[in-house]
Amino acid sequence: MRRIHRHGIHSLRAKLTAANVGLLALGIVVATAVSLMGMRHYLLDQVDTELTKMRDSLGSSQLTLRQIDSLSVLSVVSDRLMPRNTDTQSTDTRPAPDSIFTAVDGRGTALAIFDVRPTDAQRGLAEAVPDPLALTTDTDPHDVTVHGDTYRATATRLTDGTYILLATSTEALHKGIAKALKLDLAVGTLLLALLACLTLFSVRQRMRPLEDMVETSSAIAEGDLTRRVPSSHHPTQEVEQLRLALNSMLHQVETAYRTREHSAAQLRRFVADASHELRTPLSAIRGYLQLYDQGMLVEPEERRRAWDRMNGEVDRMGRLVDELLTLARLDQRPELRLRGVDVSRLVRDSAQDLRAQQPGRPVTVEADGAVLVRADESGLRQVLGNLVANVRTHTSAEVPVRLGVERVDGVVRLSVEDKGPGLGPEDAARVFDRFFRAGGGAGSGLGLAIVQGVVRAHGGEVSVRTAPGEGLAVTVTLPARPKACV
């Protein structure tokens, strides 16, 4: 059968893959955000530390701007922190400096240092800090923008009231963070794609038992009741439990279906056999009545013979109907009239009846003493009567018969054994079927079926032991106290 796959966006496979990829994406975003924030905080803290040291050094020196101009030592600081270029056009074309050092008055106007007029970067820093006093009172540097570039700036106040502004560029820091973000996004995207592929492969392997279950269910729906869900190579505990439960359910369904089919076949055969058995005596009676109606039975002897034949057929039909009614009542699990019954006495009575009917038959009885069992006496008498009648009908009058009863391991075993021709394996397997007669012999074929029904109603079992030329032995096993018939 062709396997049908439906792996759309609403399938379990797609949902599991989306869930795994979504969780990993969320984890990557959170981890990237935390790492970048930590890196930015660490780098900014280093910049702020350098600026704070420089600010504190200038603030504690108690110098004025004029004293700073006169100190030659600051030429080194000037070369490092401040570009010395008086050409405005050349200054404008230079890249933004990494650090800016400028002096401003109380109004925020940039002042010349070392007789060098302020550069564009210094004027830009002065414009970016409209209130130097507020910057000096804050312990932490602030972010400012100078000509579109970001800086961290702080300020200190000299003894003459001049403010010194210190700023360090953070453009390299931000570019580094941007590069790290791009790298993290690239690696995260690769990991997401890899995880999606691995999840699809893993889910496909894990979902294969479920696909086998779908395929098996479809095959069973098409009529193949023998199909079962195969075991996978690496099953998970839950899927294996589901497979075992499903196979157990399928076995029960198949058993119930086979039992129903067998019961239906038995019912059809039973109805056909019953119709055939009833049709034979009815046809004989109808034939004699037609002969009588047409005046063909003229002689009194012929009329008496026809009358006897019709009575015989009516008796036969009556017995058949009685046996059918007995089987019907047994099928309905009738309530038994239980009381203490001496099985030995029933066996001796049945043996006495057989001797009276066939005086020349050797009969052996093994039923000494009382063997009590709680049972329905009329049912046990019917069991013994049918077993003895079966021997009388299917064996010749000189064949020996043995009737016995014994108590073994808490159960009572009743046996009827003859030394007749016996049965083959095929006939022995059907000996309890209704309307079965070995070799098309005499009788209705319901005697042993009634025996089995009565014994099962008592919670017991009945079995046969036979072989061609070795006779037939029927053993009835009854519990001391009958159990509910299942």
- The whole-number pLDDT of residue 309 equals 82
- The whole-number pLDDT of residue 451 equals 85
CA distances from 366 to 194, 344, 370, 403 (A): 86, 8, 12, 6
- The whole-number pLDDT of residue 70 equals 59
Nearest to 461 by CA among 471, 470, 451: 451
- The whole-number pLDDT of residue 89 equals 41
Return the residue matching tokens 């490092």: 80
pLDDT tens per residue across all 486 residues of the chain: 444 445 566 677 777 788 888 888 888 889 888 988 888 888 888 888 888 888 888 777 766 666 666 554 444 444 444 444 444 444 444 456 788 888 888 777 778 776 678 888 888 888 888 888 888 888 888 888 888 888 888 888 887 778 888 888 888 888 888 898 888 888 888 988 888 888 878 777 777 777 777 788 888 778 777 787 777 666 667 777 877 888 888 888 888 888 888 777 767 776 776 676 677 778 888 887 888 788 777 788 888 888 888 888 788 777 777 777 776 776 666 677 888 888 899 999 888 988 888 888 899 998 888 888 888 888 888 888 888 888 888 888 888 999 999 888 888 889 999 988 888 888 788 788 777 666 555 666 677 888 888 888 888 889 988 888 888 899 999 886 655 443
DSSP string, 187-231: HHHHHHHHHHHHHHHHHHHHHHHHHHHHHHHHHHHTT-TT--PPP
- The whole-number pLDDT of residue 115 equals 67
Nearest to 120 by CA among 89, 92, 82: 92
Are 243 and 236 in contact by the 8 Å Cβ rule? The answer is no
Residue 222 buriedness (CB in 10 A; 0-12 / 13-18 / 19+) = exposed
Are 188 and 23 in contact by the 8 Å Cβ rule? The answer is no
- The whole-number pLDDT of residue 79 equals 47
Provide the sign of the torsion angle of the four alpha carbons 382, 385, 391, 392, taken in this order.
negative
CA angle 123, 129, 133 (to 5 degrees): 125
Are 141 and 153 in contact by the 8 Å Cβ rule? The answer is yes
CA distances from 19 to 14, 28, 195 (A): 8, 14, 11
Nearest to 160 by CA among 65, 55, 56, 58: 65
Please report which helix (H) or strand (E) contains residue 294, including its range.
none
Distance, CA of 357 to CA of 335 (rounded, Å)? 33
Residue 286: how many other CB atoms lie within 10 Å: 13
Look up the pTM and report it: 0.45
- The whole-number pLDDT of residue 456 equals 86
Question: Which parts of 234-362 are beta strand (E)?
Answer: 339-342
CA distances from 462 to 235, 454, 458 (A): 46, 10, 11
Tens of pLDDT, residue by residue over 89-144, are: 444 444 567 888 888 887 777 787 766 788 888 888 888 888 888 888 888 888 88
